Chain A
């Protein structure tokens, strides 16, 4: 592994010795799984929408090295640069989110996409990691009593974000952004009574959504009551795991991808379960858990409040997104369209996650005085 001498003080040399190589390796491994699954799952989807069999797969696989490069490039940055990039990124994302409301392409009843020179871009994906870092900065400013009303700005920022997301409407992303923000509040030391209060408010928000938004009502009903609503997708998905068994039916041998329209995106984990089996699924799960828990463990020794909040915000985003996707695929919660990090099809999601995880790697690099380890 040591292709750089310990005494090498060049940019890359320092990077090599300070970056969390195990996390980096895990992320690259997840991308590898993503490439294999994309080859298996996307031809069916591509043929369904009238493209060449491997058009979607090649599109995604071409993006993987770019994403890896972005990941590594981001991880070279210092925390200050991470903060700056996040600030600009957030401003840009908010601008684009506003733009989707006027110029977005409507897909499946929501305007989440914006066409940008031949690519379609989902600004909300990029907004998530940038928001996590920026709100962490604002909380740390508040804590340091620097005279900047950080918390007030953070609250305002959160309100802007969820308003924009709910206008699309994209309830899933709004919930995720709120969860990241809530987790940061919690870590920033908000008294527990108020944490509980906010949790009640959050639950109330979900209840309100259940009554106010028909598609949320339907999904929650069909989760709670097997007889109500359309259970086609979730039944196919569960069948896929059962069919796969311990070792899977073999790459390409699955059937769920032909039956589920979202097999290459939201239900990619079911394809993994059917074709690669339980062991591979547990390895994927293990990789996600490893990245999140190792990240938290590394932060235990962190001395910078900003780094602690920003990195944990990013980890919560990554971990929660993985959890929500896998849990809905496994029918542990109502289905919620959310990508499985690095495995699901989607260029915006992939690049935004590479950006976010790159920031994480940058923040958790060992710095003089930064951390105990």
Chain B
């Protein structure tokens, strides 16, 4: 149908030919001068009309093409010059560097980069293309002075088609090698992990090997996550607090010529670890150069008999189980003899002591009485509830297994009550104290930043009333007891010191001990728990020959709190605040009353 129609249309009658139609055409000679025509040249009216129509429509076609090409030109200008404003998503969405690095950054709770990945170049050689290994080795050694010419020559003359010469060159080194123009040397694009804060927190962040496999710390435990994601992994660590803690611990370590130190700062409500330090430390970019002792994480992997700080748990247990109240007490005149041991007090008082006094003067005898009244099963259950019998649930593989006595005899119950015979990690201890003073809910240690909404919703481990009493007792120890050097004006610090002789052979060493302090602030509304521990401090003149928790560790906590309090936004309280008075326990009247009664 179409075909017939088109034929008809094209053959439509045209206006009659005019004789004078084209004199020019008529003047043409005969012959084939243009294609497709009969031999006789005939630009008659019909053809002329057709040509006219054709020409007019040619103009339409030309205009169409002009418009089409103008559209292309406009689009080109739009993309080439103005795309930055118009379509930013197109230009940026898929070409970000984050995708290329293949390992996500690790950042602290405020977004400061703790570990990042950067592209580097590694130098290798195809020795079959090296014409003169001797000469090449000499010149290369000039450009890279770290490499020995002899070593290089041996590699370059090996005849192998692939041999690493130096991994991870700096851009400057790469430029120097390029300038040599030695054929057969090539660069492999690689990625290298950088730790901008160096030795400040390698025990937290960890490190990777040359192939960017996580080998320690968060790098190891979150290896898969870091590989799979381009989004930075945000830790609970606050780099500022970490720095202060590391500095204070290092100062004490030097002062007391100690072999090591460890410390933790934890959010009492959420269990978030704001700082975790283990000394000595090392450079995570050169882990192989560090001695094993430096790589050892004393804060989470190391387990220690913590000494008197454990009296907090014994007291809390006795209060929580209703065995004693704050007004009760024990006669501590007689040392306790069990089998071949005799349990004595460090500062014997030789009188009846109330519960607050037992903690304040750190009486072993009084504490053992409390534990014996509670009994082994309850002690075991209570310590288990506080998480002291299982490894800390933190996101690290470097977690120490607590050393729990088995079987757990009466003698163990006695010694554990004042911190011997059960070894736990500082992280476990800090978590347990956090739970004890935050109102009584579990504060599972974590290194990942938590949603603030989830804090305080943990499992209940002690009664709220017990928690409140423990806050007051800890405050008392810092105001009047062994922890006085931790007292910091305005921050209402509470805590407990500990000094434990280190186990040595079958017994205990006399002169190698762990001095520790665990505390919290502000005690009217505890926000942060701090723990400081010095491994084998030596007495100094300034400490009058003492190297105890009160002389070594409590001052660290004091200076630490003074510096991190403002950083963490804790508002200082006035010194003669009623609140602070309320925090104390009225021990004098109690003691006097009871003494009268016993007389």
A residues with a Cβ closer than 8 A to B are 78-80, 82-83, 137, 139-146, 149, 151-152, 155-156, 183, 185-191, 194, 235, 238-239, 241-246, 273, 277-278, 281-282, 285, 288-289, 292-293, 296-297, 299-300, 302-310, 312, 316, 319, 323, 326-327, 330, 332, 363, 367-370
- With beta carbons under 8 angstroms apart, the residue of B9, B47, B71 that contacts A305 is B47
Chain B residues positioned under 8 Å from A187 (CB to CB):
53-54, 57-58, 61
- With beta carbons under 8 angstroms apart, the residue of B3, B6, B55, B80 that contacts A300 is B55
Q: Is the CB of A242 within 8 A of B62?
A: no
Q: Is the CB of A78 within 8 A of B35?
A: yes
How far apart are B590's CB and chain A's nearest CB, in angstroms? 75
Q: Is the CB of B11 within 8 A of A309?
A: no
Assuming the contacts A241-B83, A330-B75, asked whether A137 and B36 have C-beta atoms less than 8 A apart, the reply is yes
Q: Is B589 an interface residue (CB 8 A)?
A: no
User: For the complex, what is the distance from the CA of A13 to the CA of B59, rounded to whole Å?
Assistant: 32
Q: Is B81 an interface residue (CB 8 A)?
A: yes
How far apart are B11's CB and chain A's nearest CB, in angstroms? 7
Assuming the contacts A300-B55, A304-B36, asked whether A190 and B9 have C-beta atoms less than 8 A apart, the reply is yes
Chain A residues positioned under 8 Å from B3 (CB to CB):
151-152, 155-156
Q: Is B65 an interface residue (CB 8 A)?
A: yes
Chain B residues positioned under 8 Å from A369 (CB to CB):
24-25, 28, 33-34, 41
User: For the complex, what is the distance from the CA of A296 to the CA of B69, rounded to whole Å?
Assistant: 15
- With beta carbons under 8 angstroms apart, the residue of A142, A238, A305 that contacts B51 is A305
Q: Is B79 an interface residue (CB 8 A)?
A: yes
Q: Is B91 an interface residue (CB 8 A)?
A: yes
Q: Is the CB of B54 within 8 A of A309?
A: yes
- With beta carbons under 8 angstroms apart, the residue of A79, A296, A368 that contacts B65 is A296
User: For the complex, what is the distance from the CA of A153 to the CA of B76, rounded to whole Å?
Assistant: 42
Given contacts A238-B79, A327-B72, 17 further A-B contacts (CB under 8 A): A79-B34, A140-B36, A146-B38, A186-B57, A187-B57, A187-B58, A189-B53, A238-B90, A273-B76, A273-B79, A282-B73, A330-B79, A332-B71, A332-B75, A363-B35, A369-B25, A370-B34
B residues with a Cβ closer than 8 A to A are 2-3, 5-7, 9-11, 24-25, 28-29, 32-38, 41, 43, 46-47, 50-51, 53-55, 57-62, 65-66, 68-69, 71-73, 75-77, 79-81, 83-84, 87, 90-91, 94-95
Q: Is the CB of B58 within 8 A of A185?
A: no
Chain B residues positioned under 8 Å from A304 (CB to CB):
34-37
User: For the complex, what is the distance from the CA of A332 to the CA of B60, rounded to whole Å?
Assistant: 22
Name, among B25, B32, B57, B81, the residue most crowded by chain A CB atoms within 10 Å (CB to CB): B57
Q: What are 29 pairs between A and B in contact, CB < 8 Å?
A: A80-B36, A83-B36, A137-B36, A142-B11, A144-B47, A149-B7, A151-B10, A187-B57, A188-B50, A189-B10, A239-B91, A239-B95, A241-B80, A241-B83, A242-B79, A282-B77, A292-B62, A292-B65, A292-B69, A297-B62, A304-B35, A304-B37, A308-B51, A309-B54, A323-B65, A330-B75, A332-B75, A363-B35, A369-B24
How far apart are A153's CB and chain B's nearest CB, in angstroms? 10
Name, among B43, B50, B57, B80, the residue most crowded by chain A CB atoms within 10 Å (CB to CB): B80
For the residues of B in contact with A, the DSSP-based class is helix
Chain A residues positioned under 8 Å from B10 (CB to CB):
139, 142-143, 151, 188-190
User: For the complex, what is the distance from the CA of A137 to the CA of B37, rounded to whole Å?
Assistant: 9
How far apart are A357's CB and chain B's nearest CB, in angstroms? 16
Name, among B28, B71, B76, the residue most crowded by chain A CB atoms within 10 Å (CB to CB): B76
How far apart are A151's CB and chain B's nearest CB, in angstroms? 4
User: For the complex, what is the distance from the CA of A25 to the CA of B25, rounded to whole Å?
Assistant: 32
Chain A residues positioned under 8 Å from B57 (CB to CB):
186-187, 189
User: For the complex, what is the distance from the CA of A327 to the CA of B70, rounded to whole Å?
Assistant: 11
- With beta carbons under 8 angstroms apart, the residue of B6, B33, B54, B91 that contacts A155 is B6
User: For the complex, what is the distance from the CA of A297 to the CA of B63, rounded to whole Å?
Assistant: 11
How far apart are A26's CB and chain B's nearest CB, in angstroms? 14
Q: Is the CB of A282 within 8 A of B76?
A: yes
Q: Is the CB of B90 within 8 A of A235?
A: yes
Assuming the contacts A243-B91, A292-B65, asked whether A370 and B80 have C-beta atoms less than 8 A apart, the reply is no
How far apart are B552's CB and chain A's nearest CB, in angstroms? 61
Chain B residues positioned under 8 Å from A319 (CB to CB):
65, 68
User: For the complex, what is the distance from the CA of A330 to the CA of B83, rounded to whole Å?
Assistant: 12
Q: Which 7 A-B pairs have the closest CB atoms?
A: A79-B35, A278-B80, A306-B36, A304-B34, A241-B79, A296-B62, A155-B3
Assuming the contacts A83-B35, A144-B37, A187-B57, asked whether A303 and B80 have C-beta atoms less than 8 A apart, the reply is no
Chain B residues positioned under 8 Å from A186 (CB to CB):
57, 60-61
Q: Is the CB of A307 within 8 A of B80?
A: no
Chain A residues positioned under 8 Å from B91 (CB to CB):
239, 242-243
- With beta carbons under 8 angstroms apart, the residue of A156, A282, A308 that contacts B58 is A308
How far apart are B270's CB and chain A's nearest CB, in angstroms? 40
Q: Is the CB of B2 within 8 A of A155?
A: yes
Chain B residues positioned under 8 Å from A302 (CB to CB):
51, 55
Assuming the contacts A142-B10, A142-B11, A155-B6, asked whether A306 and B80 have C-beta atoms less than 8 A apart, the reply is no
Chain B residues positioned under 8 Å from A156 (CB to CB):
3
Closest to A140 in B: B36
Assuming the contacts A278-B77, A282-B76, A367-B34, asked whether A145 and B54 have C-beta atoms less than 8 A apart, the reply is no
User: For the complex, what is the distance from the CA of A245 to the CA of B43, rounded to whole Å?
Assistant: 53
Q: Is the CB of A141 within 8 A of B36?
A: yes
Closest to B71 in A: A332
Closest to B94 in A: A235
Chain A residues positioned under 8 Å from B11 (CB to CB):
142, 145, 151
Q: Is the CB of B76 within 8 A of A278?
A: yes
How far apart are A272's CB and chain B's nearest CB, in angstroms? 10
Chain B residues positioned under 8 Å from A78 (CB to CB):
32, 35
Chain B residues positioned under 8 Å from A141 (CB to CB):
36
Assuming the contacts A238-B90, A296-B65, asked whether A82 and B38 have C-beta atoms less than 8 A apart, the reply is no
User: For the complex, what is the distance from the CA of A287 to the CA of B87, rounded to whole Å?
Assistant: 28
Q: Is the CB of A80 within 8 A of B35?
A: yes
Closest to A324 in B: B68
Name, among B36, B66, B71, B79, the residue most crowded by chain A CB atoms within 10 Å (CB to CB): B36
User: For the complex, what is the distance from the CA of A310 to the CA of B37, rounded to whole Å?
Assistant: 14
Closest to B22 in A: A303
User: For the complex, what is the distance from the CA of A183 to the CA of B76, rounded to whole Å?
Assistant: 27
User: For the complex, what is the distance from the CA of A152 to the CA of B8, rounded to whole Å?
Assistant: 10
